[in-house]
Structure 1
Amino acid sequence: MPGTTPGGGPGSPGSGAPGGGPRPGGTGGWTGTPDHHRTNHTDADGAADRGRRGLFDPLKWGDNPATGKPWTPDEIDALRRNLVNVEDTTRMRRELDRLGLDVDPETIRSIKKYLFDSPGIAMSHANYSAWRRLTSGNGSVADAQFIAHEAAEQRRLREIGNRTGFDHLGRDHDNMSRARRGAWEADHDRAYLEAHRGALEDEHDFLARKVEELTNGQVPVSRSPAAVADTRAEGRAHMVVDGIPMADHSNYPHWQERARSRVEIGSRVAARLGPPPNPTIAEVVDRVRRHRAG
């Protein structure tokens, strides 16, 4: 198993959803759910007793460099607790502003609470690493895209709560009976699905803006082509366009063709982003996501 140091590495964060789609079902009710938004509902009492929040994937955490062995649940939970106890809102806002994303302090704190200290969401290595990069001043456009998704998701979850009374942060979860926890988790799954699908639109709106900005307007794209060009499958698999899943939309072949089309970006943009000569739009999008604006 290759070693992985939390907070480092070139991998993109769990922006919106880096893996499969958020479809409840299967083991624990979450087969296919993105790793960064997965919970282990099969052992709610144990998770509460240990103070953990959600499921973690040891293969994605790799080895603890301090021990040379795979990270243990207690070690990962110690990282979670340490992160939760750090006040880093100002640092996060500063880095997001540098990357062109405006998120208010209350939303940043809500995102952090939801991702790292709520019963509905996994303690994801991808999310932890992205958060650490951003608050250390080493964030990329992909990291900001992740926060754009999470901010939109928080807004939608609050709207759902205002409409239904559901507390998506599950602040009383540890004191609930098993039956009440099961009901809360089922409600969370439904609220999450609704919020997540909408947040995919916001994150790809942000990505499309960054593509146009960083190419000096030479590669104008809208939300849907940006989602198709994104190397992650989440937008393609779960974004809804005109009430239709993106992959089933009549314009999907056109968006695919657009992503494969080649563009001239000029030497200045090429020097900034570093794509190959005469890149495809998908290659430009990939380089924009990697850009650190530093």
Structure 2
Amino acid sequence: MKVLITGSNGQVGSCLVKQLQSCPEIEFLAVDRDELDITSKQEVINTVNNFMPNIIINAAAHTAVDKAENEVELSYAINRDGPEYLAQAAEHVGAAILHISTDYVFAGDKDGSYSESDTVNPQGVYGESKLSGEKAVINACSRHIILRTAWVFGEDGNNFVKTMLHLAQQRNSLGIVADQFGGPTYAGDIAAALIKIAKLITDSKNTFNANNYGIYHFSGMPHVSWCEFAQVIFDKAVEQKVLVKSPDVKGIKTEEYPTPAKRPANSKLNTNKITIVFNTPASDWQSALNHLSDYA
């Protein structure tokens, strides 16, 4: 199996590289923006035609949600055009594309968790550009997996866990949003899920059912608020002696912490489909916090 990874320096991309290094049966080419500008159609064509992958995993994205409100052109170039070029190139060489998307494609106002068939209604540029990317990939490549996820964190890159640990060393009390809910998702679990799917697709026994291409949700359980997530981080950090003591955590409302882009109040994703089809359980985000010294 030959795998092309884009966005290799990001949270998920770096985990993909680490995990694939222990898979000798898989040849992979990992590229970030310096090695491949996915917004250049010709660069994408050249890279894919030269490497001839069986699988393309697109972990590249413009994920700066607030900046996206002003960087509209850039957001669509990276989140829509790049995925489209990768999907077109995949189709041309007979490869499958595994593309990471987001909970932001939903309005976030539903009661209960979102399933793959629920109506999409993004509320900002980031969500709109990511939804456009989903549609572009689906239209360009018949062999596609769209993996929607949420609240991603890991040892590499910037994320909520690192921010909380940093703030906890500076302040005695913190106000954390308590009326937005979702499933924190460990980047390493996303990478493992993608590799598992890639192996099933390229299985020499050809047991993969083509009807299983499509959209899947993958995120963490149990669902919590940002405030509850932060408290677990602090409790575990104290247990592991990463922090001397936990700051006092006060739950605040979304309107008390205004941001340029609107956040979904409900980012809960139903992961039953991926569990059934690919035997992949939801991300165990609490276990992923058992080695917080790696995040500090």
How would you bin the TM-score normalised by the shorter chain? under 0.3
Q: Which structure shows the bigger proportion of residues in strand conformation?
A: 2
